[in-house]
Amino acid sequence: MDGSSKPLADQAFDALLAALRSGRLAAGAFFSMPELSRALGYPIASIREATKLAAARGLLFILPKRGITVMDAGPENTRICMDMRAALEREGARRIILGGAAMPTGDLRRSHEELLRQALDRDPEATGKRAIDIDLSLHNALAAGLDNLYLQQAYAANRDRIAVIQQSRPFLQDRIVSAMQEHLEIIAAMEAGDLPRTIESIDVHLMQTLRWWGV
């Protein structure tokens, strides 16, 4: 437990979400409620409430009187989640470009170029959480363009599902190189205010990610 002033159920949900995102609770794994309670360090009552919230987001499935199963990371689910991300990002990009909204393309470009250089040099720093955080920074910036609470909530829930999927597939350094190149193309298209090029670049990134994942 984290000693927070939040209700226990909310603390348990935060812990559950962190465990799903980190891969501690792996895709497809089964846990009884007592096992989940011990793993996360929260009482079963709060764990039950937390799993209800997670189930509503499609992160796991509740098996009555048995426990839970973490969402699967198979090809069909992967395609669905990635397609949803791309669809929402296309709309976010459209609203940013047509509405003239600000987007931190300069900061995004610098961080992506730095990670790309490190990955090309086989620098061990170009892996792990930092690489994932930089990868997410562009996706989150595109989603911010949605400027709609419900669309952004749907995007956030899907982002958590993709995090579970990613934990079942290692973020290889070679993929970091190509992913950063694809991201930089999206950033360049956004900087140019070129919507057709931006949408095409988002679609290419989607197809390449699925190809790397063998989906």
**C-alpha span between 59 and 159 (Å, rounded):** 10
CB–CB of 71/61 below 8 Å? yes
Residues paired with 31 in a beta bridge: 68
Q: What is the largest CA-CA distance in the chain?
A: 55
Task: Select from 130, 158, 127 the least CA-distant residue to 142.
Answer: 158
Which 3 state secondary structure label does DSSP give 68? strand
- Global pTM reads 0.89
CB–CB of 212/174 below 8 Å? no
CB–CB of 15/21 below 8 Å? no
| CA 42, chain centre distance (Å) | 25
pLDDT by 10s per residue, the chain, length 215: 666 678 899 999 999 999 999 999 999 999 999 999 999 999 999 999 999 999 999 999 999 999 999 999 999 999 999 999 999 999 999 999 999 888 889 999 999 999 999 999 988 877 778 888 999 999 999 999 999 999 999 999 999 999 999 888 766 778 899 999 999 999 999 999 999 999 999 999 999 999 999 88
Look up residue 131 and give its two tokens: 């690489």
Name the DSSP class of 63: E
Look up residue 76 and give its two tokens: 């069909």
**C-alpha span between 158 and 61 (Å, rounded):** 15
pLDDT in the model for residue 137: 96
